[in-house]
Amino acid sequence: MASVRLGKDLRKTIFRAAEKAYDSTATEATVDNDILEQIWKGIVDHPTHQAYSKYVADHKRSTENFLYQQIKKTESNRLCVSGYGGEKEDHRIYLDLPTTRTSYIDYGYNAHHVELSDLHLSSVQYLAIKDKIKAVSEKRVQAATDKQHYLRQIKALLESCNTLKQLLDTQPSMREFVDDELVRDMHKKVTRESQARERREIAQVDSDLINQVVLTSKLVA
């Protein structure tokens, strides 16, 4: 049988499968529900929210009414929080609320956009929430960095091999990311272990990292 070459499309398919496996093992860092509720209370206690909320409750008019149209109403189960001391001035973080809620502070297409310092919070609450969100943000940045490191390993490995057999000889656990039919059609050409080891060294592949992701993705599936 003919050898299965690693063309552009096959490399892309395997790369995406490897990325999907990594994502299945990852858990996004977030804040405790208590912090979320404190942020939400800061929103509902805000004078703007209270004023517009009262207006809507007292005047159930059509959206053709000019004032009603100007109300910045947002319905979402997500918070978009800024002003917590991230790496950039406009740094923001998205947090999931347990339920869909309505706010009247600022219009957001898919989230309640809030500046932490604008919310009605005590100084103790503000500092505690700021520290918690900043810590979560840093964990997410590190998680993104770790993922990119893993994907660079996968890309280097794919680019170091010309055929599917070379890929599987070099890193057997990559078998989990390859369609069964392709494996059956693979040309069974003998490849010496020394050649496989050499390709790993050239690509600077961390075999243990890839093996760990494959194993963990199986356990969480």
pLDDT tens digits for range 122-162? 889 899 999 999 999 999 999 999 999 999 999 999 999 99
More confident position, 128 or 218: 128
Say what percent of the chain tops pLDDT 90: 42
Q: Per mean pLDDT, which of 31-40, 175-184, 204-213 is the most reliable?
A: 31-40
More confident position, 88 or 139: 139
Give pLDDT, residue 15: 96
- Is the residue at 157 inside a domain? yes
Is the same domain home to 37 and 132? yes
Mean pLDDT in residue range 81-98: 77
Confidence of residue 202 (pLDDT cuts 50, 70, 90): low
Mean pLDDT in residue range 182-187: 73
Is the same domain home to 97 and 75? yes
Among 28-42, 57-71, 111-125, 165-179, the least confident range? 57-71
Among 60-64, 82-86, 181-185, 206-210, the least confident range? 60-64
121, 136, 151 - which closes a domain? 136
Mean pLDDT in residue range 187-207: 63
Q: Which domain holds residue 95?
A: 33-136
Confidence of residue 17 (pLDDT cuts 50, 70, 90): very high
Domains: count for the chain? 2
Res. 41: pLDDT tops 50 = yes
Is the same domain home to 99 and 156? no
Give pLDDT, residue 154: 95
DSSP the chain: ----B--HHHHHHHHHHHHHHHHHH-------HHHHHHHHHHHHTSHHHHHHHHHHHH----TTSHHHHH---EEEEEEEEE-S--SSTT-EEEEEEEEEEEE-SS--SSSEEEEGGGS---HHHHHHHHHHHHHHHHHHHHHHHHHHHHHHHHHHHHHT-SBHHHHHHH-GGGGGGS-HHHHHHS------HHHHHHHHHHHT--HHHHHHHHHHHHHH-
Give pLDDT, residue 217: 84
Q: Which residue has the tokens 């993922």?
A: 147
When the pLDDT of each residue in the chain is averaged and rounded to a whole number, the result is: 82
- Is the residue at 2 inside a domain? no
136, 170, 193 - which closes a domain? 136
136, 164, 188 - which closes a domain? 136
